[in-house]
Amino acid sequence: MSQEIIKFLTAGNVDDGKSTLIGRLLYDTNSLFLDQIQEVKNSTSADFLGELDFSLFLDGLTSERSQKITIDVAYRYFSYLDKKFIIADSPGHEQYTRNMAVGAANSDIIIILIDASKKQNAVALQTLRHSYIASLFGIKNVIVAVNKMDLVNYDYQIFNEIRKSYLEKTASLDFEDISFVPINAKEGFNIVKKSDAIDWYHGKTLIEYLLETKPINHLQEQVRLQIQNLVKHQQSRYYQAFLSSGSFEIDDELMVYPNKDKVKIKKIIHSAKNVKKAKTNQSVAVSFDKEIDLERGAMLSNLDNQPYFANHFVANLIWFSKDSFNYKKSQELLININHNYLRAKVNKINYVIDVYDLINLGNLKNYQAQEVSMNQIANVEISLAKEVSFDLFSTNKKTGSFLLIDNITNETLACGVIENFLIQKDPQRSIQDDFLFELSQLVKKYFGDKNIDFSI
């Protein structure tokens, strides 16, 4: 039986101790090689008060080590007891928010680091921005690690004030469970082992909370086979594809997009071997019972749980670029969605979310705007040059997200998650026709192609 894999992200404000925490976690779970430990011993600065600077296990770039900051997302892998973990250590600086968003999109749980020594200003804007992005990307469970408790003499009152402040300021976010752990990352207190120095804390250690985590499983009955390439071998055509969710077997019948045709699976090849079944996250080659013309970006699904197929949707964007975006200038962009790379346009900014409100009011407000600036989060309507297959992000992370790209510089401008399917309005269509069309699309999505009379 394979080990369960948990993906978690560390985030928070600059210098709150994210890299030190993860370095200590790796060290205390015996997940480091002797040569790695020796290298960090040699790299630890002489003025560092300790034998090891644990942050150096994560900050791999020369510029990161010299500045003592995290720039890129650092990924580490380790096993402990009966689980495997993939760690994403994200940078705290505002200019690297894009890196944190990428880590959040692929994580099951987030550890928010807060520096206890900052006391009244401990729950900073960037901490809340990271919390909101985690919520936006579907993370439901949060561990708040209140770090550097040694600098406040392990004072329970300070810990409790930080706990209350964070809960108040994130009350409007869609978290299901928030756990608080007082820690000293340098000394390893309450990370893998309890500490007598924090004798008033009777909760679990950080690793115990992580061991209880369950991976986020979106609807696994959704078959989403994403075509990437076509190859010919002898007299047969094989489609190389990635199965982002679900499973299927030989002789299963699937729906094909954009062709809107049905095919039966005749052969499945995985790791150069013929297999009877394909599973989630496998790259496979498949052949069908009949010839069909498919290109990169096509998608196959099961018949009773089909994706949306449209060229218009509502999405939440995190804007990355230093250059603000004004939708009234009719800037044409490129979109990378489910292996499709095509022209797109932001038709409307419904509202911009101001994360500063979490600091001041403890809740989010939406503002009407024509522009989106760097690190702002906006709800927008997007149209594409052609119809593509997609899901809502709430039901499938992998097929419900996308990137916006500058069509001249190839700069990644924003990442987005699809919030809602939106019918492209036809001025000649009556309100009644719009309603019937949308109803028929929903029925088709959930019940397949059936002759149902929607006439009134």
**DSSP secondary structure letters along 102-132:** HHHHT-SEEEEEEEGGGGGG-S-HHHHHHHH
Q: Is 36 exposed, middle or buried (0-12, 13-18, 19+ CB in 10 A)?
A: middle
Q: Kindly report the backbone phi and psi dihedral angles of residue 69, in degrees, each rounded to the nearest multiple of 5, phi listed first.
A: -135, 165
Distance CA 236, CA 290 (A): 10
Task: Answer yes or no: are the C-beta atoms of 344 and 334 closer than 8 Å.
Answer: yes
**DSSP secondary structure letters along 203-225:** S--HHHHHHH-------TT--EE
**DSSP secondary structure letters along 288-314:** ESS-----TT-EEEETTSPPEEEEEEE
Q: What's the chain's average pLDDT?
A: 84
CB atoms within 10 A of CB 397: 18
Identity of residue 176: E
pLDDT at 185: 92
pLDDT at 423: 65
Q: Kindly report the backbone phi and psi dihedral angles of residue 221, in degrees, each rounded to the nearest multiple of 5, phi listed first.
A: -75, -10
Q: Is 91 exposed, middle or buried (0-12, 13-18, 19+ CB in 10 A)?
A: buried
Identity of residue 64: E
pLDDT at 433: 45
Distance CA 236, CA 263 (A): 15
- Give the three-class secondary structure for 453: coil
Lookup: tokens for 210:
């992580």
**DSSP secondary structure letters along 350-416:** EEEEETHHHHHTSS-EEE--SEE-TT-EEEEEEEEEEEEEE--TTT-TTTSEEEEEETTT--EEEEE
Task: Answer yes or no: are the C-beta atoms of 284 and 241 closer than 8 Å.
Answer: yes
Lookup: tokens for 431:
């309100």
Cis status of the peptide bond prior to 182, with omega within 30 of 0: no
- H or E segment at 440? helix 431-447
Identity of residue 338: N
Task: Answer yes or no: are the C-beta atoms of 226 and 241 closer than 8 Å.
Answer: yes
Lookup: tokens for 217:
């499983």
Lookup: tokens for 295:
């290109």
Distance CA 449, CA 304 (A): 9
Lookup: tokens for 35:
């040569």
Identity of residue 70: T
Task: Answer yes or no: are the C-beta atoms of 6 and 213 closer than 8 Å.
Answer: yes
Distance CA 183, CA 198 (A): 8
pLDDT at 431: 42
Structure letter (DSSP) for residue 189: B
| Residue 379, CA atoms < 13 Å, CB-side half-sphere | 12
Q: Kindly report the backbone phi and psi dihedral angles of residue 108, in degrees, each rounded to the nearest multiple of 5, phi listed first.
A: -95, -30
Q: Which residues of the chain have pLDDT under 70?
A: 1-3, 46-50, 58-74, 92-96, 217-220, 330, 355-366, 423-456
| Residue 161, CA atoms < 13 Å, CB-side half-sphere | 14
pLDDT at 450: 52
Query: Is this model's pTM higher than 0.85 or not?
Result: no
Q: Is 400 exposed, middle or buried (0-12, 13-18, 19+ CB in 10 A)?
A: buried
CA-nearest of 109, 172, 171 to 137 is 109
> Could you give the angle at the alpha carbon of 164 between the alpha carbons of 28 and 149, nearest 5°?
35
Over the Cα atoms of the chain, what is R_g? 24
Distance CA 182, CA 221 (A): 40
